[in-house]
Amino acid sequence: MSASIVIHWFRQDLRLSDNPALSAACDAGEVIPLYVLNDKEYGARELGGATKNWLHYSLKALNESLNEQLLIMRGDPAVIINSLIQETGAAGVFWNRCYEPWRVEHDAQLKSDLEENGVTAKSFNGSLLWEPWQVGKPDGSPYKVFTPFYRKGCLQAQEPRKPLPVPGQLRIHPLNTEGALSIDELNLLEERPWSAQVSSHWEHGEKAAQNRLYAFFEDGLSDYKDGRNFPALTHTSRLSPHLHFGEISPNQIWRALGSHEETRDIDHFRSELGWREFSYSLLFNNPTLPKSNLNEKFDNFPWLSDDQRLFAWQKGQTGIPIVDAGMRELWQTGYMHNRLRMIVGSFLVKNLLLDWRLGEEWFWDCLVDADLANNSASWQWIAGCGADAAPYFRIFNPILQGEKFDAHGDYTRRFLPELKDLPDKYLFKPWEAPKDILQSACVTLGENYPLPIVDLKKSRDEALRAFEEMK
């Protein structure tokens, strides 16, 4: 390409290192680093509140690493890119691929329009280890079961490429474009009760992501396979928001693991990255995944419509301590440990009999790692209607889950201070505690902590009956 000005369009790749599109743009000429906030970019659904919160800080970090020269615009990316081309004579546009159905469609159209107008348009893989079309069964169809997808598909395919360094020659094309905004002008930090509280739990940006990875290697990776089930421990990486926003690439993580001796913990951690790949493959091959049951039999499931139940679940006021602890962790920190995501998800669909899509929407709004592929695939998995899903009749017992995975109650007490003085024996079922024990722990059920909103056994039986009827 002879031209010297090109656009790099940042999306879910908010980093400089191992950014294949950015590296190619730098090789091609002077770069206009562009970020476009398209409020409706997730289709009809708005960006979640916690997503906006994270995005604000992530853009700040990226802008800083670009010497405050990130060009920020708001609107339809295709319109903005075309007008920038008119203004600057840019001869190329570079981006890393995204896999949300509307983005796949939008990008294909943009690419063909640009090429028709003689502008080079190049897209790259910047956020997956293997793109959905690289992993398929021998007959070309997509895998529907995780283990063969990962073991036969991914691990037998080409090894993920080596991460790229930060481009050595990043020449930024100076620009004073009309319509350029500051990050603050995007108004991403909404007036939400939790906004400041959520961000105080995180460090954002590429450097923070790298620090998180190496801190996890030090403190969490050894014993990951077992330890990842215990929410009070630090055996999970908490890399998910960094991965979602592309502050770190899965390649960087995968290859960094290679510098350690292979252990069962490393194998298991790699396979969790494999689940992320599986979710993306499911979404790519089933664009209606966020809205429609993969297993159509569930279209007839008699979900209840009960706002009171939903509200109690959202606010962590169900009277089932381990569920409430998980929901409050989400509300306070923008994150929830995976074990808790499974427990609260199972409780919503199998004890409260509420549609998994209600849970998916709440998570979408509250999670800093809200990710269309992972969130919708995981909710379908927990509801029993997804690919390779937990069967509907396997219902988590929240009392046993608490007793097993938070035996000393460290996690539950952290988020339910009103129960902190209850002995372990009753922490997960305070309604069974004798009066004097409740009294000495200053717990008055129905006053400072709710009575259970459903009977666990009865609601479980109702769910199983509904499931039988659906079949």
Q: Is 11 in the site for ligand FAD (CB under 6 A)?
A: no
Q: Which two tokens stand for residue 1?
A: 């390409």
Task: Pick the stretch among 123-131, 270-278, 286-294, 423-431 that binds ligand FAD (CB under 6 A).
Answer: 270-278
CB of 403 to ligand FAD, least distance (A): 20
**Smaller CB separation from ligand FAD, 9 or 363:** 363
* Residue 238 in marked binding region: yes
d(Cα 468, Cα 176) in Å, to the nearest integer? 64
CB of 245 to ligand FAD, least distance (A): 11
Q: Which of 102, 194, 254, 303 is catalytic?
A: 303
DSSP state of 304: -
Q: Is 342 in the site for ligand FAD (CB under 6 A)?
A: yes
Q: Is 314 in the site for ligand FAD (CB under 6 A)?
A: no
Q: Is 413 in the site for ligand FAD (CB under 6 A)?
A: no
DSSP state of 152: I
Contact predicate 58/14, CB 8 Å: yes
Q: Is 382 in the site for ligand FAD (CB under 6 A)?
A: yes
Q: Is 369 in the site for ligand FAD (CB under 6 A)?
A: yes
SS3 232: coil
Class of residue 403 by CB neighbours under 10 A (exposed 0-12, middle 13-18, buried 19+): middle
Q: Which two tokens stand for residue 346?
A: 């199972």
Closest to 9 (Cα-Cα) out of 129, 168, 120: 120
CB of 385 to ligand FAD, least distance (A): 13
Question: Strand ranges (DSSP E) for 11-110?
Answer: 30-37, 71-74, 92-96
Task: Pick the stretch among 16-24, 87-95, 308-316, 341-349 that binds ligand FAD (CB under 6 A).
Answer: 341-349
Look up 338 and say whether it is catalytic. yes
Closest to 335 (Cα-Cα) out of 220, 198, 227: 198
First-last CA distance in the chain: 60
d(Cα 357, Cα 376) in Å, to the nearest integer? 8
Look up 303 and say whether it is catalytic. yes
Q: Is 345 in the site for ligand FAD (CB under 6 A)?
A: yes
d(Cα 453, Cα 60) in Å, to the nearest integer? 43
Q: Which of 9, 95, 202, 356 is catalytic?
A: 356
**Smaller CB separation from ligand FAD, 7 or 233:** 233
* Residue 370 in marked binding region: yes
Task: Pick the stretch among 36-44, 126-134, 366-374, 391-399 that binds ligand FAD (CB under 6 A).
Answer: 366-374
Q: Which two tokens stand for residue 166?
A: 């930060």
* Cα–Cα distance list, 244 to 77, 118, 351 (Å): 20, 33, 30
Options 275, 347, 392, 396; binder of ligand FAD; rule CB under 6 A: 275
**Smaller CB separation from ligand FAD, 23 or 251:** 251
Closest to 224 (Cα-Cα) out of 216, 213, 232: 216
Q: Is 52 in the site for ligand FAD (CB under 6 A)?
A: no
Q: Is 363 in the site for ligand FAD (CB under 6 A)?
A: yes
**Smaller CB separation from ligand FAD, 195 or 237:** 237
Look up 356 and say whether it is catalytic. yes
Residues 229-258 that bind ligand FAD (CB under 6 A): 236-240, 243-244
d(Cα 454, Cα 351) in Å, to the nearest integer? 7
Beta carbons within 8 Å of 245's beta carbon, 6+ residues apart: 12, 14, 54, 55, 58
The H or E element that residue 346 is part of is helix 338-350
The contact mask relative to ligand FAD for 61-100 (x = CB under 6 A, - = no) is ----------------------------------------
Contact predicate 318/328, CB 8 Å: no
Catalytic positions: 272, 275, 303, 338, 356, 379
The binding site for ligand FAD (CB under 6 A) comprises: 228, 236-240, 243-244, 272-273, 275-276, 279, 338, 341-342, 345, 363, 367, 369-371, 374-375, 378-379, 382
Binding residues for FAD: 224, 236-240, 269, 369-371
